[in-house]
Amino acid sequence: MKNFYRLLDLAKIIINEIIDYIASYLGVKKFKVDIVKNLALKSANKNNPQGILDTIDQYAWNKAFLMNIGDEKGLLLEKAIKEKNPANCLELGVYLGYSSIRILRNLHENSKLTSIEASNKYFEISQKIVSHSGLSNRWKPMKGKAKDVIPSLKEKYDFVFLDHWKDEYLSDLKTIQRQGLLNDKAVIFADNVVLFNMEDYLSYVRNSSTFESKFISTMREYSKTQPDGIEISIFNKDD
């Protein structure tokens, strides 16, 4: 029964996203990500990352769902970044640049973040929002599907944040491994592993000697009732 209600809530989110897209495409209303972009650029002062995050969070809590990691899980992401203190980070799925800002503001001066986004619209919006935050000097956005971009990457990463297409988490992680892009003890931070019932991904990171994995139970972003969770996995290079 719990799975039924979880799937029902997920279906509502997906249906609302489709309705929003169709209505925006037909010109019935403005696409919500454009509304949020304008709010973030106008309501928050330039070089004020927290102001931008607050603006986005307030919209998502009070107006319409946004598929950012959100304020509550976002703090867990920031905690993981601070604990790892990575020199080189990789983000799959950028959306509005919300999580990019949360990562970037916790990196030390010589660290950097590479972010991959498949959507042209989200790519353009995130560039404007991250630039407005004043954190873009350490940020390298790349446009394209992760599976197409990952093989072109040359650097090794200490921290990887997965928040893109859920059915691509596992295949993209395996590609990252095959390409030799993970430093020893690299952290893999995967969002929405409960909301989307990601059993294949969880089975892989939990049952492989290559990873040490732990689960943190959370609520879905911008929800007080819908269960979700994150999986944090540590890569062991020599195993």
* pLDDT tens, residue order, the chain (239 aa): 556 555 666 666 667 666 666 665 656 567 899 999 999 999 889 999 999 999 999 999 999 999 999 999 999 999 999 999 999 999 999 999 999 999 999 999 999 999 999 999 999 999 999 999 999 999 999 999 999 999 999 999 999 999 999 999 999 999 999 999 999 999 999 999 999 999 999 999 999 999 999 999 999 999 999 999 999 999 998 76
Nearest to 187 by CA among 69, 50, 72, 91: 91
Candidates 20, 117, 172, 221; catalytic one: 221
Task: Tell me, yes or no, if 221 is annotated catalytic.
Answer: yes
Is 191 a known active-site residue? yes
Q: Which of 71, 73, 166, 231 is catalytic?
A: 166
CA-based angle 59:126:9, to the nearest 5? 45
Name residue, tokens 């307030």: 58
Q: What's the Cα-to-Cα distance from 7 to each of 165, 179, 227, rounded to whole Å?
A: 17, 35, 11
17 is a catalytic site residue = no
* CB-count burial class (<10 Å; 0-12, 13-18, 19+) for 46: exposed
* pTM confidence score: 0.91
CATH architecture assignment, domain 68-235: 3-Layer(aba) Sandwich (3.40)
Q: What is the domain partition of the chain in residue ranges?
A: 68-235
List the catalytic residue out of 20, 57, 158, 163.
163
Distance between CA atoms of residues 32 and 22, nearest Å: 12
What is the C-alpha separation between 129 and 219, in angstroms, rounded?
Answer: 26
Catalytic residue among 20, 37, 192, 228: 192
Strand, coil or helix: what is 56?
helix
Cβ count within 10 A of residue 39: 16
What does DSSP say about strands 157-162 and 182-190: parallel, antiparallel, or unpaired? parallel
List the catalytic residue out of 91, 191, 228, 231. Answer: 191
